[in-house]
Structure formats: structure tokens, C-alpha cells
Amino acid sequence: MVVAQAAADRRSEVTFSGGRAGAGPATWGQQAIWDVVRDLGTDAARYNVSGGLPLPEPVPADRVEAAVRDLVLLHESLRTRLRTTDDGRVEQVVHAAGGIPVVTRPATPDTVTEAAYALRDELLAVPFDAERQWPLRVGVVHAGGGVRYVVFFLSHTASDGWGLRNLLADFAALLRGPLPERDLLQPLEEAALQTSQRGRRRDAAARRSWLDKLGRGPASLFPARAGRPPAATFPNAVLNSPALGLALDRVAATMSVSPAAVVLAAAAASAARLTGVDEAVFQVVVNNRFLPGMTGGVTTIAQEGLFHLTDTGGGDFPDLVRRTFGAALSAQRHAYYDKLALDRAVAALPHPADHSCFVNDQRGLMPALNFAAPVPAPLREALARTRLTWPVEHEPRRGVSFALDAQDAPGALELAMTADSALMPRADMETFLYTIEDLVVRAAG
């Protein structure tokens, strides 16, 4: 491990060698995320993926280093860089050797978690250069004679939230010993599958589904303010709700649906009340780990599926949740596709439906650190602890009216929303978020 001192932190590298090298077309997921992150400009770090693992007892630094090295050799995405071609396509280049940057922060046994959170906030704010840098960096908190916390930071071109969860599980297992042999579909093989006859059929089916829904949906989800130029900045609102964290799983279990379907139904109903359009067209992020070898992969496979549902503005909320669950399954079946080809097909439509709203349930996928579950309590008491904050304003996002993320928080669930305030002023954003909370909490009783 090569070390250079910088203030109180120690900066080093975990070197690796002996892996397979190769190059080939980017996967659909790599290409899609590359395009998104490139358009974000200085806001690109917001798409970084991060998760941490507390260690109950101090672990020697060399064991942590060996586990990181094994991870990088096991999952080729962690040593892959991307490059553009003359025709605008992206290629992936897998390297056999290199060095993953590591920042080690000293702490006392009583300040391990505090130091881990601070280190996460600092390193998560640094964007990745997918062409020139490795898509992984590691933060380590050292206390009591060994490593007590490890935090991983990944470029979204290397992994999505589901991949991060797999990485954390593999890292924990590697600290205990070697992993058993298993088949993993590496990104180079995935790209080959996508260009095969089977891959082309799946892509064509997804494109047909998208175009059908876009041909039936409303021209604008914000008719009262349609045609306005985007705001100069997009505000970010965060609703921290212990009550929502308690109510969501309760409603999902009672109705035998996924928590994500409950969030999606509440977002659809809340938007309808706000805009008067009782039809939802949302892009929802889908796992896509359904092919052999994909389940345990650390890769970026998740893509957006198109969710379309009518009659969202009134009636019975439980009925809306059930209908949402069915419509979400349709979106999930057709969320694996060549986005460049889809974009061309959508651009050729004379009047596609407004599909500028995004919903992403990240709960359990990007465990920021050791987030505790909401403490059981009467919902009315928990509601009194709801807080709405406005932490930052983002640069305008092309083709986005709003993006809603449901994410874990210490003892709560957070709804983080970024929106074009020309379409959704701050007061509307606040109403939208509180209505989602109210719908779910009322359904939980």
C-alpha cells in the first residue's frame, strides 16, 4: 500500500493485478448513466453511489486491503473505465492492474460513527471522471488498533444501488474468508448478450411498450404551467418522516404489495390533487437483475421503466395501491433496453405523453451508513417529528419536471424531491410531499 500524508487523513492505494483485461461496447446501463451524469455538469456527484459497513471489532488494515483487492478482481466493473467513440457510443475498458484510492481517517472508539459520516459526506461530494479515474474509492475509519468502519464510493457508471448492496455483502464475507465459486455475468458478457438475437428481441419489446404508453398518456402533467421556460435552479426539498417510515411497511404488508408500490400510488394521487390531471406517467427505476449471473453482480443494470395509470385523482386509496402494483409490474417487465434507440424512437413520435417525472424507491439499496429503523411509536406522536428542509438548489435538469426519491434516514424515511419550480413552485413541492405522507399514514390507521 503506497501512502502519502494529508492533514490527519492518510491517503493510500490498494494495488491490484492479475485480473482479466478487455474492451467492448458499453452495456445499456453504462451508456444510459454516462449520458445522465454528463448532462448534470457540476451536479454530477449527486449520482455517486455510497454505502458503509460498521465492524463490531477492530479489523487489521491488511485484511481490509486484501478484501478490497479481492472485490476489485471479482467484479470487473470496479476496474472498468469508459471512453467515447466517434459515433457517440460508449466503450468499456477493463484493466488488469491498477490502484484503488483509499482515505483512512483516525478516530477514537467513541467517535467512529461520527467520523464515518463526516468522511462519507466529504468523499461523496467528489465527482468521478469515468474516463480517467477508477470508478471506486474507499473510506476507512481506524480506531482502537484496527479498522472499525469502511465506506465505499462508486461511480454510478460502475454500479447502481442493488449492486452496492451486493458489494457490501461480498466485502463482509471476504473479511471472514474466501468466497465460493459462482457465475457472475460481467459487463463485457452482458454487452455481448444485449447485441445477441435474444437481447434485440427484449429491446424491441421494451420499446414497443414505451411507445404504446407514450401514445396514450397526457400531453402535459402540468397543464396550468405548460410551456414555461425551466427555472434557473431546481430546489431540493427533503421531508424527513418517522411516521412514514413506520406506516409504509405496515400498509404494504396489510395489502400484500411492495412498499415501492405504496410510494408510487401516493405520489400519483398527490400529483393528481395538485395538478388536476388524474393520470400518472412516471419513469420508475427498476432493478433488472433477472437474468442468470446478474443477481449478485456489482454493475449498473437498473434502468427506468415507464409507469402509466389512469383514474389517480380520487376514490379509494387502497384500490389505487392495488392498481398501481399491477401497473408497476408492467413497467418492470419492460425496463431493460437500449436507451439510445429508445430516445430516437420517442423523438420520432409527433406528440408523446409527458414523461418528465421520476420516482425512485432507494430504501434498503444504498444504506448510507448504519441507519436505524424507525422506533415503533403511535403514528400521531411520530407525525409531530416530521421535518421539511431545503438543503440545496441544483442546476436545471433537462427533461425533468420532478424527481422523487424515497430513501433511508436515521429512524425515519425521507422523501427527497428535486423539481422545476417553474412547474412546481416551492409551495406545491411542500404540498406534494406532505400529501404523500398523509395518504400513507392514514392508510396505516
The per-residue pLDDT for 42 is 67
Predicted confidence (pLDDT) at residue 273 exceeds the cutoff of 90? yes
For position 46, what pLDDT does the model report? 81
What does the pLDDT average to over 181-210?
Answer: 96
- Superfamily of 217-444 according to CATH: Nonribosomal peptide synthetase, condensation domain (3.30.559.30)
If we measure between CA atoms, which residue out of 125, 98, 114 comes closest to residue 13? 98
Confidence grade of residue 365 (pLDDT, cut at 50, 70, 90): low
Burial class (CB in 10 A: 0-12, 13-18, 19+), 149: buried
Confidence of residue 376 (pLDDT cuts 50, 70, 90): confident
Can you give the pLDDT at residue 372? 60
Residue 370's pLDDT band (cuts 50, 70, 90): low
Q: Could you tell me the sign of the dihedral formed by the alpha carbons of 59, 114, 78, 409, in that order?
A: positive
Angle between helix 317-333 and 426-444 (nearest 10): 110
User: Where in the chain do CATH 3.30.559.30 domains reside?
Assistant: 217-444
* pLDDT tens digit sequence for 120-176: 999 999 999 999 999 999 999 999 999 999 999 999 999 999 999 999 999 999 999
Q: What integer is the mean pLDDT of 389-394? A: 94
Instruction: Say how far apart CA 147 and CA 445 lie, in whole Å.
Output: 44
Q: What average pLDDT does the segment 8-24 reach? A: 96
Three-state DSSP class for residue 352? coil
For residue 3, pLDDT beyond 80? no
What is the tens place of the pLDDT at every residue in 18-32?
A: 999 999 999 999 999
Q: What is the pLDDT of residue 2?
A: 40
From CA 424, how far away is CA 432, in angstroms rounded? 9
Cα–Cα distance measured from residue 94 to residue 113, given in angstroms and rounded to the nearest whole number: 34
pLDDT at residue 7 in the model: 55
What is the model's pLDDT at position 1? 46
Average pLDDT of the chain is 93
The CATH architecture of the domain made up of 2-190 is: 2-Layer Sandwich (3.30)
Q: What's the pLDDT score for residue 39? A: 72
pLDDT digits (tens, 9 = 90+) for 312-359: 987 899 999 999 999 999 999 999 999 999 999 999 999 999 999 999
The answer to whether the CB of 265 falls within 8 A of the CB of 273 is: no
pLDDT at residue 368 is higher than 70 = no
SS3 210: helix
Q: What is the DSSP letter of 117?
A: H
pTM for the model stands at 0.91
Q: Give the distance between the most distant pair of CA atoms in the chain.
A: 65
93 Rama class: left (phi>0) / alpha (psi -120 to 50) / beta: beta
CATH 3.30.559.10 domain position(s) in the chain: 2-190
Q: How confident is the model at residue 100 (pLDDT cuts 50, 70, 90)?
A: very high
For the segment 409-418, what is each residue's pLDDT rounded down to a tens digit?
888 999 999 9
Secondary structure element (H or E) that encloses residue 11, with its range: strand 9-16
Mean pLDDT value across residues 262-268: 98
| Structural element, H or E, at residue 362 | none
Name beta bridge partners: 94. Answer: 22, 80
Return the pLDDT at 369: 54
- Quick one: which of 413, 362, 380 has its CA closest to 249? 413
